[in-house]
């Protein structure tokens, strides 16, 4: 018997960067994300003589997946498993494959082994594997905030169907993992403390903007959160400078489009790609403008999608 689950990556509009000095991979900052459609991780779990992990066709010994299984086995009786996971987007492209991967893994193991976990419980195990994965349990707009740090669905994809144009500006794998980068920021950035202190207000304002479907307010907060996070990254030792010339060109292009009355804003994660979030009527003009910029290698236009779910009965 095999069990298959699918989950999508999410993009944080209010960013998670930094962890609390507590066990359980607890973020230092609340975050608010949109779950995408089209891009997905598909994870199939089956019984096996020993644990076996196959990622995108290659058998791997992935310490984060092992740690996730160990954590689940601390609470549940789980036999040795074969885990086969495929992303339909390049892992190297900086599109948060750990978020969709762990949301799909926890969902598949939960069903396969009859663990009977609720969505909030799955969100906690996904978060402990990778903070952003907590959010991919749900679709649409999702919050992740204290005191419990369990993801919370805020608005469905259908309720506010935004689009995202992802501009790929570099396909090299990132040099520093997010966990290591966050640790460097916690230890060395003079802006880390004010970053953490001010994120709660950004989160609450963004939450209201989502509830009110106020695109301009959400966009202003999202760009602010993105640039503040990159300010922390760039002021860490060693500095994390994720932007390429094309990354900056995309930011200016988005701002120029907005000055011309197009509803669009940008966000950038721990990598060089730019995600331009727009209303459906602006999708074509945003995609065309970003695609023509020098240094933009490819663009992907996607919509908002659903949470992690089973694809087998």
Q: Give contact residues for ligand 2P0 (rule: CB under 6 A).
A: 12, 15-17, 25, 31, 98, 130-132, 178-179, 269-270
- C-alpha to C-alpha distances, 32 to 204, 219, 221, 225, 306, nearest whole angstrom: 10, 12, 11, 10, 15
For the CB of residue 294, give the shortest distance to ligand 2P0 in the complex, in Å. Answer: 25
Which of 64, 155, 149, 57 lies closest to 101, judged by CA? 64
Q: Minimal CA–CA distance to 21: which of 216, 210, 271, 192?
A: 192
Unique residue bearing structure tokens 């065309």: 288
DSSP element (H, E) containing 122: helix 119-129
**Shortest distance (Å) from residue 143 CB to ligand 2P0:** 11
Provide the minimum distance between the beta carbon of 149 and ligand 2P0 in the complex, in angstroms, as a whole number.
Answer: 11
Residues in the chain: 313
Nearest approach, Cβ of residue 260 and ligand 2P0 (Å):
28
Structure tokens at 7: 């989950």
Half-sphere exposure for 208 (CA within 13 Å, toward CB): 8
Question: How many Å apart are CA 274 and CA 299, to the nearest integer?
Answer: 10
Min. distance of Cβ 63 from ligand 2P0 in angstroms?
12
Instruction: Output 118 or 179, the one with its CB closest to ligand 2P0.
Output: 179
């Amino acid at each position: 018997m095999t069990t298959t689950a699918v989950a999508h990556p999410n993009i944080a509009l209010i960013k998670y960067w930094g962890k609390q000095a507590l066990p359980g991979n607890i973020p230092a900052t609340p975050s608010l994300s949109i779950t995408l459609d089209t891009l997905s991780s598909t994870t199939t779990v089956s019984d096996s003589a020993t644990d076996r992990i196959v990622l995108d066709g290659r058998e791997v010994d992935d310490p984060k997946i092992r740690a996730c299984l160990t954590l689940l086995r601390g609470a549940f009786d789980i036999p040795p498993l074969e885990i086969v996971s495929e992303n339909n987007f390049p892992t190297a492209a900086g599109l948060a494959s750990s978020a969709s991967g762990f949301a799909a893994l926890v969902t598949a193991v939960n069903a396969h082994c009859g663990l009977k976990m609720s969505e909030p419980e799955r969100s906690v195990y996904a978060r402990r594997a990778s903070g952003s994965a907590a959010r991919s349990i749900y679709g649409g707009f999702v919050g992740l905030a204290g005191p419990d740090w369990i993801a919370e669905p805020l608005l469905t994809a259908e309720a506010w169907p935004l689009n995202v144009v992802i501009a790929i500006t570099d396909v090299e794998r990132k040099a520093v993992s997010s966990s290591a980068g966050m640790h460097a920021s916690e230890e060395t950035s003079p802006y880390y403390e004010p970053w953490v202190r001010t994120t709660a207000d950004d989160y609450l304002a963004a939450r209201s903007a989502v509830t009110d479907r106020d695109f301009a307010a959400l966009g202003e907060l999202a760009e602010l959160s993105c640039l503040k996070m990159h300010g922390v990254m760039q002021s860490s030792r060693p500095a994390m400078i994720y932007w390429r010339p094309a990354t900056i060109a995309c930011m200016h292009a988005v701002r120029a489009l907005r000055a011309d009355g197009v509803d669009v804003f940008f966000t950038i994660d721990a990598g060089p790609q730019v995600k331009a979030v727009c209303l459906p009527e602006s999708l074509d003009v945003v995609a065309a403008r970003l695609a023509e910029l020098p240094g933009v290698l490819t663009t992907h236009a996607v919509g908002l999608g659903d949470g992690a779910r089973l694809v087998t009965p």
